């Protein structure tokens, strides 16, 4: 029987857990009408052929008390825990921290050693650099660092906002990478980068059809950071121009960005696979993305399909 991965979203009420899940699903309507979750909402996902169930746990005190009283039923077999904290509600940081501490105690009792992600959420683009938010970010980081040391666990921290979908994709993709050893895809992308660097390729990111990152390879961290900054633009282009092409049609978009150098970025929809993928390639001004795309389709699509098949078989 195929393995089912369990991802638990926790946090206080109004922290933004349900909104995060809706954005990850690509569902934008009704975000302003979301009310605090009552009890538990479970949603099934399929990512790269792997079955995942997300548990969205309501954050009102009555539900938190219920989860802690029945923590075995709620937390048993958790593979990834994502704790969401509202960075605009400083009055509740200690309350959230105490709840997180209780959850870590429950995980200790169950002897569950799962990856932990902390979302410093509602760090919206227009305020994330403001003095109050920076103060809150520093204060919360120190608070949760203390919990990390007390329980001897590693907590991966992400600054997130529903108005910066890239931040949510990066966070969730990191979590998926902790569950499923998809590093093989990054290895294949690095082979692709090495073969095409002479024609100007600097790096690339591979997305699944829901725009979760499933692999990447770059010549250096600065190039990677610059390419990541284009993700929101390409997601918007892909969404807004869907009326131009059919689901099974290959499509590509290009952007040019100049700082001290001129870089070109190309998003190419790959339809020659069992499930569609998107390949975001970063290159120097001179790079011919059509030639690069041809190389990828001719030599690397089959490698990715085989890598995924081998990975699924090894887990099953």
Give the single-character DSSP code of 261: S
pLDDT for 1 beyond 50: no
Measured in whole angstroms, the distance separating CA 156 from the mean position of its chain's CA atoms is: 12
Its pTM stands at 0.90
- Distance, in Å, from the CA atom of 205 to the CA atom of 228, rounded to the nearest integer, reads 9
**Residue 4: predicted pLDDT:** 87
Tell me which CATH code domain 183-315 carries: 3.30.450.190
**Residue 30: predicted pLDDT:** 57
Residue pair 201/287 in contact by the 8 Å Cβ criterion: yes
Measured in whole angstroms, the distance separating CA 276 from the mean position of its chain's CA atoms is: 18
Q: Average pLDDT of 30-54?
A: 78
- Give residue-wise pLDDT tens across range 230-258: 898 888 887 777 666 555 555 666 777 76
The boundaries of every CATH 3.30.450.190 domain in the chain are 183-315
- Give residue-wise pLDDT tens across range 4-29: 899 999 999 999 999 999 888 876 65
Q: Identify the helix (H) or strand (E) that includes residue 243.
A: none
The boundaries of every CATH 3.40.50.300 domain in the chain are 4-179
Query: What 3-state class would DSSP assign to 151?
Result: helix
81 phi and psi, to 5 degrees?
-120, 125
- Give residue-wise pLDDT tens across range 279-310: 999 998 778 888 888 899 999 999 998 888 88
Tell me which CATH code domain 4-179 carries: 3.40.50.300
- Distance, in Å, from the CA atom of 122 to the CA atom of 125, rounded to the nearest integer, reads 9
**Residue 209: predicted pLDDT:** 85
Q: Which residue has the tokens 């098949």?
A: 309
Starting at the edge strand found earlier in the chain, the sheet holding 262-270 runs 213-218, 201-207, 277-284, 262-270, 252-258
**Residue 50: predicted pLDDT:** 85
Our separate counts of H helices and E strands in the chain read 11, 11
- Give residue-wise pLDDT tens across range 173-217: 999 999 988 888 999 999 999 999 988 999 999 998 888 999 999
Dihedral-angle region of residue 47 (phi above 0 means left; psi in -120 to 50 means alpha; beta otherwise): beta
Residue pair 294/252 in contact by the 8 Å Cβ criterion: no
- Distance, in Å, from the CA atom of 138 to the CA atom of 294, rounded to the nearest integer, reads 46
Q: Average pLDDT of 43-57?
A: 89
Cα–Cα separations (whole angstroms), residue 39 to 4, 65, 134, 156, 312: 22, 11, 32, 26, 33
Residue pair 11/84 in contact by the 8 Å Cβ criterion: yes
Q: Which residue has the tokens 């790096």?
A: 203
Compute the mean pLDDT over every residue in the chain, rounded to the nearest whole number. Answer: 88
Is residue 280 classed exposed, middle or buried when 0-12, 13-18 and 19+ CB atoms within 10 A define those classes? buried
Residue pair 208/277 in contact by the 8 Å Cβ criterion: yes
- Give residue-wise pLDDT tens across range 95-130: 999 999 999 999 999 999 999 999 999 999 999 999
pLDDT for 2 beyond 70: no
Q: Specify whether 187 is catalytic.
A: no
Q: Which residue has the tokens 């952007």?
A: 255
**Residue 244: predicted pLDDT:** 61
Catalytic residue among 33, 44, 60, 88: 60
């Amino acid at each position: 029987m195929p393995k089912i991965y369990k991802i638990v979203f926790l946090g206080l009420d109004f922290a933004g857990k349900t909104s995060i899940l809706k954005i990850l699903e690509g569902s934008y309507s009704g975000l302003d009408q979301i009310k605090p979750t009552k009890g538990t909402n479970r949603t099934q996902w399929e990512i790269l052929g792997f079955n995942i169930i997300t548990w969205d746990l309501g954050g009102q005190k009555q539900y938190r008390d219920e989860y802690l009283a029945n923590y075995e039923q709620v937390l048993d077999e958790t593979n990834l825990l994502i704790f969401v904290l509202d960075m605009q509600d400083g009055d509740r940081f200690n309350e959230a921290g105490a709840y997180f501490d209780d959850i870590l105690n429950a995980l200790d009792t169950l002897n569950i050693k799962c990856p932990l992600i902390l979302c410093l959420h509602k760090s919206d683009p227009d305020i994330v650099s403001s003095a109050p938010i920076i103060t809150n970010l520093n204060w919360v980081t120190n608070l949760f660092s203390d919990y990390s040391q007390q329980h001897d666990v590693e907590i991966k921290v992400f600054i997130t906002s529903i108005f910066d979908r890239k931040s949510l994709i990066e966070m969730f993709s990191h979590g998926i990478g902790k569950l499923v050893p998809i590093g093989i895809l990054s290895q294949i992308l690095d082979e692709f980068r090495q073969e095409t660097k002479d024609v100007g390729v600097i790096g690339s990111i591979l997305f699944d059809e829901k725009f979760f990152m499933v692999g990447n390879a770059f010549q250096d961290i600065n190039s990677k950071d610059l390419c990541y900054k284009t993700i929101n633009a390409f997601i918007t282009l892909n969404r807004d121009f869907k009326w131009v092409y059919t689901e099974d049609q290959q499509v590509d978009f290009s952007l040019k960005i100049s700082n001290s150098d001129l870089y070109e970025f190309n998003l190419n929809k790959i339809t020659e696979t069992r499930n569609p993928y998107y390949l975001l390639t970063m290159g120097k001004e001179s790079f011919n993305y059509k030639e690069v795309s041809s190389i990828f389709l001719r030599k690397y699509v089959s490698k990715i399909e085989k890598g995924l098949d081998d990975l699924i078989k090894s887990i099953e």
